[in-house]
A and B are shown apart, each in its own frame.
Chain A
Amino acid sequence: MDSEDDMHDANDLESLDDDFYSGETAMGSDDGDAGYDFVDNESDDSEDITSHRQQQNYTILSEVDIRQHQEEDINRVSIVLSISRSAACILLRHYNWSVSKVHDEWFADEENVRKAVGLLENPVEMQNARELSCGICFENYPHNNMSTAACGHHFCGSCWRGYIGTSISDGPGCLMLRCPDPSCSAAVGQDMINILATDEDKEKYSRYLLRSYIEDNRKTKWCPAPGCDFAVEFVMGSGNYDVCCNCSYNFCWNCTEEAHRPVDCGTVAKWILKNSAESENMNWILANSKPCPKCKRPIEKNQGCMHITCTPPCKYEFCWLCLGAWSEHGERTGGFYACNRYESAKQEGAYDESERRREMAKNSLERYTHYYERWATNQSSRQKALADLHSMQTEKLEKLSDRQSQPESQLKFIIEAWLQIVECRRVLKWTYAYGYYLPEHEHAKRQFFEYLQGEAESGLERLHQCAEKELQVYLDAETPMKDFNDFRTKLAGLTSVTRNYFENLVRALETGLKDVGSSNSQATCSKTSSSKCLGGKSKIGKIKAGGTTSRSGGPSRSLDESNLWSCDQCTYVNPRSTNTCQMCEHRRCTT
C-alpha cells in the first residue's frame, strides 16, 4: 500500500488541503473539534524515503516498454558480438533473455554456443546451379525463387510458408525453429520469418517473442489480473513482494496470488489448498443471506459494512457476522468488538448463537469455518467496496459535487477513503488466515492478535460507516458548507488514522508478534519517532493525509463528534473512556 500510486494520491490530497485551507482559514481554528494532526509540510519527508525505496523495487511495463527493452537488449548483443539482430535474438531467447549470460557464454566458448543454438559460422552458398529441387514439394524452381537458412538447404517459398505456419500454430516452440532438413540444425530466425511467413504468422511470431521476453525471463512476470496486459520487472533481494500493477491489481510477485501481507506465501498456498479441500463443506457459508435474529426473515447483506439493519417494520440492528445485537458492538462499549474473537464465545453466552458456537468450539471444522467465514466475508466486502469505489468515481462524486457546490477535485478525500477501505478489507481478510495458523497454545500471542484484529475491525467499520452512511446525507441534500467541511475533516482523519493502524498491524504480524508480552508498543508503534506534546494551539497547517505518524505538530485532539481521541504516539483512535492508548499504552496528552 505504499505504492507509488498511493503516494501520488496522498500528495494530491495534501495539495488539495493546501488550497482548501488557504481559502477557508477561519474554519478549523474556530472549531476545536476539527483539528487533526496538523503538521508542517517540511517536516514530513519520511514518506518520500519510503516511496523512493518502493519505487526501486519493481517497474511496471506496458507492451510498448517491453518491446523497447527487448529491442535494446537485442541491439546490445548484436553490437557487442557483431552478429545480426536476428541471431542476437535467437541467442537471447536461448539464454532466457539474460544479456550478461549471453556475453559470458559466447566469450567463453563461441563455437559451442553457435552449435547449441544453430548459428552457422560460415553460411554455405549454393554454387551456380540454375534450378533446384525443393526438398519438400519435390518441384524444381529457379535458384533465386528459393530460400535457405545459413546451411544451404533450399526450399520453395510456399513450402517455407507452410513449414513456418505449422510450427507457429504448434506454439512458442516456433522461436527455436530449425531448417526443415532433419539432419540439419541451422536456426531459422525472425529475419527469415519476416520474409517468408504470412502476415498473420509474422504477427503471431512477434507476439510469441514478446511473451517469451516476459515468461522466460527470471526477472519479469505478467500481471495475473484477468485481461491485464502489463508486466512487472522485479528487483530481487528486497523482502517485500507486494506489487501494485497499473491496472490497480495488487499481487505478490513471488507467488502471483493476490497481495497477502501480512501472511507469507507458504501460508497462503496452504490456506488456498485447505479452502479447495473444504469447499464442499463451505458451500453453505457462501450463501449471502441470513435470517434476522429477531424476526427470522431472510436478510441480504447489501452494504459492505457488518452493521445490518433489518427491513421495516422490524428494523432490528445486528452484526452480520455473529448475529448479535449491534448495541453490544462498536465503539460505545469501549472499542469492544466481539465478533472476530472466536475465543470470546467463552464469555457470557449472552445470546444463543454464541452458546451454540461454544459447544462446537472443539470441532476443528467449526474452527476452520470460523476463520474461513470471516476470510470470505471480508473478501466479498472488499469486492463490494471496489464496486462502491467505482460507482463513487463514475457517478456519485459528480452528484456530490453538484449538491455541495464543490469541484470534484476537492472531493478526492472520498476516493482516498474508499481506496483505504478496499486495502483494509484485503489485509483483514488475510489476518483470518494468519489467525487460523497461529498455534493454539500460544495464548498470549493469540490474545494479543485477536485484540489487534478486533481493533482493526472496529477502526475499519468506523471508516466504512463514515464513508458509506454518513456520506449519504450529503448525497441526499444540500447541507451547510460547514457541515460538509466537518465531514471532510472527519473522513480524511479517519482515513489517515486507519491507514496508520493497518500499516502497523501488518508490520506487527509480519514480525510474528515477537514483542508480545514485554512491549507491545514497540511492535505496533515501531515507526514512531520521538513525539512530544507541544502545548498551545496548533498552527494552521495541512492535514496530514499520508501514512506516517505525527512527528511534530499539535497535541492530539479529540474527534469530538464520535467521542474519540487520536493517540499522539501511534495515531490510533481511542475511545474517550480511556486515557491510555489501547494500542501502545501511551498516555493521552491533555494539554
Chain B
Amino acid sequence: MANSNLPRRIIKETQRLLSEPAPGISASPSEDNMRYFNVMILGPTQSPYEGGVFKLELFLPEEYPMAAPKVRFLTKIYHPNIDKLGRICLDILKDKWSPALQIRTVLLSIQALLSAPNPDDPLSDNIAKHWKTNEAEAVETAKEWTRLYASGA
C-alpha cells in the first residue's frame, strides 16, 4: 500500500494538524493516500471572502520536504493571485520553499493571501487589472463569487 514507508515527518505533521488545527483551517489526509490532503480554509474576516468556505487539495510529492507541497483551490475564487484552475501564486510554493516550512505554514500563508491580495504579482492578468483599476468593483465581484461558489453547503 502507498502509505508504507511514510516518513516520520509526514506522520508527525499529520498528527499535529489533526490534534491542534490552526484557526480557520482544516486539513485531513485521504484514506487511501496519506500524501493527499483535503483542505478547507474559511474566508478571513474583513476580506471579500468572509463567510466563504474554500476547498483545496494538497499533495506531498515524493521529494517532500525537500520539494514544496502542491496546492490548488477546488472552489472557484475571484483573486488576482489565483487562476481559474485554482493554482496559487505564492513564493513559498516555488523558489522560496524551504524544507523547514510545513503544511501548516503553507496553509496559513494561503489564508493570509486571501486577506491581502497582491495584484502586482498576478497569476490572473484580467483579475489583477480589475483590482488595480477599480478595486471597489473587484472586491464586489470577489464577494459575489464567494456567495455563489463558497457558501458552504
Question: Is the CB of A442 closer than 8 A to any CB of chain B?
Answer: no
Interface of A is mostly: loop
4 further interface pairs, Cβ-Cβ under 8 Å (given A137-B9, A139-B8): A136-B65, A139-B9, A180-B98, A180-B100
Q: Are B8 and A136 in contact (CB under 8 A)?
A: no
7 A–B contacts, CB within 8 A, in A order: A135-B100, A136-B65, A137-B8, A155-B100, A182-B96, A182-B100, A182-B101
B92 in the interface, Cβ–Cβ < 8 Å?
yes
Give per-residue flags for B9-22: 1 if the beta carbon is below 8 A from chain A beta carbons, else 0. 10011000000000
Q: Which residues of B contact A138 (CB under 8 A)?
A: 8-9, 12-13
Tell me how far the C-beta of B32 lies from the nearest C-beta in chain A, rounded to whole angstroms: 24
Bound together, the chains give a CA A486 to CA B65 distance in angstroms of 78
With an 8 A cutoff between CB atoms, is A327 at the interface?
no
Chain B residues in 8 Å Cβ range of A135: 100
Q: Is B62 an interface residue when CB atoms closer than 8 A count as contact?
A: no
Whether B66 sits at the interface, judged by CB under 8 Å, is yes
Q: How far is the CB of A352 from chain B (nearest CB, A)?
A: 61
Interface residues of B, Cβ cutoff 8 Å to A = 7-9, 12-13, 63, 65-67, 92, 96, 98-101, 105
Contacts between chains A and B (CB distance < 8 A), count: 38
- In the complex, identify which listed stretch (A158-166, A282-290, A489-497, A558-566) lies at the interface while the others stay far away: A158-166
- Is residue A181 contacting chain B, with contact meaning CB distance below 8 A? yes
Identify the closest chain A residue to B65 (Cβ): A136
Residues of A within 8 A of B (CB): 135-139, 153, 155, 159, 162-163, 165-166, 180-182
Q: Which of B63, B67, B92, B99 contacts A180 (CB 8 A)?
A: B99
Q: How far is the CA of A153 from the CA of B9 in the complex (A)?
A: 18
C-alpha spacing A180/B105, complex, angstroms: 14
Tell me the complex Cα distance, A153–B13, Å.
19
Chain A contacts for B66, CB-based, 8 A: 162-163, 165-166
Complex: A182 Cα to B7 Cα, angstroms: 21
Q: Kindly identify which residue among B8, B63, B101, B105 contacts A166, using a CB–CB cutoff of 8 Å.
A: B63
Give the docked Cα–Cα distance between A153 and B99 (Å). Answer: 13
Cα distance, A181 to B9, chains bound together (Å): 16
Query: Which residues of the partner chain B approach A182 to less than 8 Å between Cβ atoms?
Result: 92, 96, 98, 100-101, 105
A37 to B22, CA, bound (A): 93
Closest 9 interchain pairs by CB? Answer: A166-B66, A182-B98, A180-B100, A136-B99, A135-B100, A138-B12, A138-B9, A181-B100, A137-B9
Report the bound CA distance from A396 to B149 in whole Å: 83
A-side contacts of B13, CB under 8 Å: 138
Give the CA-CA distance A165 to B63 in the complex, in Å: 11
Q: Is the CB of A166 within 8 A of B12?
A: no
In the assembled complex, the CB of A462 is this many whole angstroms from the nearest CB of chain B, namely 62
* B99, closest chain A residue (CB): A136
Taking CB atoms, residues of chain B closer than 8 Å to A155 are: 100
CB distance from B25 to the nearest CB of A (A): 19
Shortest Cβ distance from residue B110 to the other chain A in the assembled complex, whole angstroms: 15
Complex Cα spacing A137 to B100, Å: 9
B100 near A136 with CB under 8 A, answer yes
Kindly provide the distance from the CB of A167 to the nearest chain B CB, expressed in whole angstroms.
9
> In the complex, what's the smallest C-beta–C-beta distance from B78 to chain A, in angstroms?
29
CB neighbours (8 Å) of A139 from chain B are: 8-9
Complex formed: what's the CA distance from A153 to B66 in Å? 17
B98, closest chain A residue (CB): A182
Q: CA separation between A499 and B131, bound complex, in Å?
A: 69
Do A136 and B9 touch across chains, with their CB atoms under 8 A apart? yes
Whether A137 and B92, one on each chain, are in contact in the complex, defined by CB atoms closer than 8 angstroms, is no
**Shortest Cβ gap from B93 to chain A (Å):** 12
> In angstroms, how far is the closest chain B Cβ from the Cβ of A530?
68
Q: Is the CB of B8 within 8 A of A163?
A: no
List A contacts of B63 (CB < 8 A): 166
Q: Which residues on the B side are within 8 Å of A162 (C-beta)?
A: 66, 99
Most buried by A among B67, B100, B101: B100
In the complex, what's the smallest C-beta–C-beta distance from A151 to chain B, in angstroms? 12
Report how far A436 CA is from B21 CA in the complex, Å: 74
Interface centre among B7, B8, B66, B105 (most CB of A within 10 A): B66
Q: Which residues of chain A come closer than 8 Å to B8, judged between CB atoms?
A: 137-139
The residue from A137, A163, A165 contacting B7, defined by CB atoms under 8 A apart: A137
Docked complex Cα distance between A522 and B12 (Å) = 86
The CA of A159 and the CA of B67, in the complex, are separated in Å by: 12
CA distance A180 to B100 in the complex (A): 6
What is the bound-complex CA distance between A139 and B11, given in angstroms? 11
For A135, A138, A162, the residue with the greatest tally of chain B CB atoms inside 10 Å of its CB is A138
Measured CB to CB, the nearest residue on chain A to B105 is: A182
> A135–B9 Cα gap in the complex (Å)?
10
- List of A residues within 8 angstroms of B100 by Cβ: 135-136, 153, 155, 180-182
Closest A residue to B7 using CB positions: A137
How far, in angstroms, from A153 to B12 measured CA to CA in the complex?
A: 20
Closest Cβ–Cβ distance, residue B95 to chain A (whole Å) = 9
B63: nearest chain-A partner, CB-CB:
A166
Instruction: Give bound CA distance, A108 to B72, whole Å.
Output: 47
Min CB–CB distance A186 → chain B (angstroms): 12
Chain B residue nearest to A182 (CB atoms) is B98
Measured CB to CB, the closest approach of chain A to B112, in angstroms, equals 14
Closest to B16 in A: A138
Least CB distance, B10 to chain A, in whole angstroms: 9
A238 to B98, CA, bound (A): 47
CA of A136 to CA of B98 in the docked complex: distance in angstroms? 9
- Establish whether residues A166 and B98, one from each chain, have CB atoms under 8 Å apart when the complex forms: no
Inter-chain CA distance A182–B91, complex, in Å, is 12
Name the one of B96, B99, B101 contacting A159, with C-beta atoms under 8 angstroms.
Answer: B99
Tell me the nearest residue of chain B to A170, going by C-beta: B95
Q: Name the residue on B nearest A169 (C-beta).
A: B66
Give the CA-CA distance A136 to B105 in the complex, in Å: 13
Please report the C-alpha to C-alpha distance between residue A162 and residue B64 in the assembled complex, in whole angstroms. 10
Cα A354 to Cα B39 with chains together (Å) = 79
Chain B residues near A166 (CB-CB < 8 A): 63, 66-67, 99
B96 CB contacts on chain A under 8 angstroms: 182
Min CB distance B99 to A, Å, is 5
- Chain A residues contacting B98 (CB-CB under 8 Å) are 180-182
